[in-house]
Amino acid sequence: MPFEKYQYLSNVWKDGIFDNKVVFCTGGAGSICSAQVRAMVHLGANACIIGRNVEKTVKMAKDIATARKGATVLGLGAVDVRKPEALVEAAEKCVEELGSIDFVIAGAAGNFLASMDQISANAMKSVIDIDILGSYNTVKATLPYLIESAQKYKVDGNTEPTNGTGGRIIFVSATLHYAGTPLQSHVSVAKAGVDAMAMSVAIEQGPKGITSNVIAPGPIADTEGVARLSRKDTRDQSAQSIPAGRYGFVKEIADATIYLFSDAGNYVNGETLVVDGGQWHTSGVATTGAFQYPDFLLSGQAVDGVAGGKKSKL
C-alpha cells in the first residue's frame, strides 16, 4: 500500500538529490529496508530490491515505485544472499536494466528468539551466513560498480557536487551486542561481524572513494521484527526504558540513510550511526522497583531508603 511522504521521509531533504542514481538493496522487501529505498526513490533514485520471496519482493517494488512519478524499481526475488553467484547475477541485472549501482544497502538478515542452549548449530550457522556472508557477498558483487560510481561522482567537501554523490554502502546492523541481549546470542554474533566488515570496507576501499557505514536501529514500531520478536502486552513497558520514551519509526532510519548517502555525509566513513532513541544506554536500568525509570527521575523525588541517599538542596 502506498505511503504518505511523512511516513518515510522528513521534509528537510531537497527533491532530486539522487536524480539518475541507482540504489541496490538486499532485504529490500522488509519494513525498514523498504522505507530506506522508498525515501531514496522519492528523492530521485531508481532502485533494485533483492529478496527470497518472489511475490513479496515484486509487490514491494511496485509499491515503492509509487513514491515518485516515473520511478523504476526492480524487484528481484528468489535471490539467496548466501549464494555469491546469485548476488553477482542480481547486480549484473540491476546495472543492465538501470545503468549503474551508486548506493548499496546490505539489509538482509535473519532472527528469532532462543537461548544459546536452545540454538542448534545449523540455526546459528544460518543466521551468520545470512548476515555476515550475505553482507560479504553483497559487497563483492557490487564493489566494482560502487568504485566506478565513486570515481564518477567525486566529492571533496569544499565544492558543490554538481552531479551528486555515489559509491556508498550502508550495512543495517543492531545494538544487541553492545551490552548483551538475552535470547539473541546468534544475532549479536552476526551483527558484530557485520560491524567489523563495514569498518574493513571503509579502511580498504576509502582510498578509492567508497564510504562504508553502519546504521544500527533500535526497536522500530510497526515492523516485522517488533511484531515477531516482542509481546504486545509488554511493548508499552519496554518503551518506557527508552530515553526518548517511545519506539522509533521507519522514517527515522530512512532519514539517517539519506544523510549518509547525501552531500551531508561526505566525510563520514567507517562509523556506526545508532538510531534507537538512546535505548541501548539504558539497557541496565530498572523498570520496576523503588527507582523505576523514567518515573522516578521525572517525579523530582529525592532518593531515600538507602544509605547513599542525599536530600536535594534545590
Backbone angles phi, psi at 217, to 5 degrees: -75, 150
Architecture in CATH of 5-285: 3-Layer(aba) Sandwich (3.40)
**Residue pair 295/187 in contact by the 8 Å Cβ criterion:** no
Backbone angles phi, psi at 242, to 5 degrees: -90, 125
**Distance in angstroms (rounded) separating the CA atoms of residues 105 and 102:** 10
In the set 185, 191, 212, 262, the catalytic residue is 191
Q: Give the residue extent of every domain in the chain.
A: 5-285
Q: What is the DSSP letter of 243?
A: T
Please calculate the CA angle 133-137-142 and round it to the nearest 5 degrees.
Answer: 150
In the set 135, 149, 173, 212, the catalytic residue is 173
Q: What is the DSSP letter of 7?
A: G
Which burial class, exposed, middle or buried, applies to 281 when counting CB atoms under 10 A from its CB (0-12, 13-18, 19+)?
middle
pLDDT in tens, the chain (314 residues): 678 898 999 999 999 999 999 999 999 999 999 999 999 999 999 999 999 999 999 999 999 999 999 999 999 999 999 999 999 999 999 999 999 999 999 999 988 888 888 999 999 999 999 999 999 999 999 999 999 999 999 988 777 767 899 999 999 999 999 988 888 899 999 999 999 999 999 999 999 999 999 999 999 988 765 655 555 655 666 788 889 989 999 999 999 999 999 999 999 999 999 999 999 998 766 565 566 777 766 877 776 766 655 555 55
Q: Model confidence over 161-212: pLDDT tens digits?
A: 678 999 999 999 999 999 888 888 999 999 999 999 999 999 999 999 999 9
Segments of the chain assigned E as strands? 22-26, 46-50, 73-76, 103-106, 168-172, 211-217, 272-275
Which burial class, exposed, middle or buried, applies to 127 when counting CB atoms under 10 A from its CB (0-12, 13-18, 19+)?
buried
Catalytic residue status for 191? yes
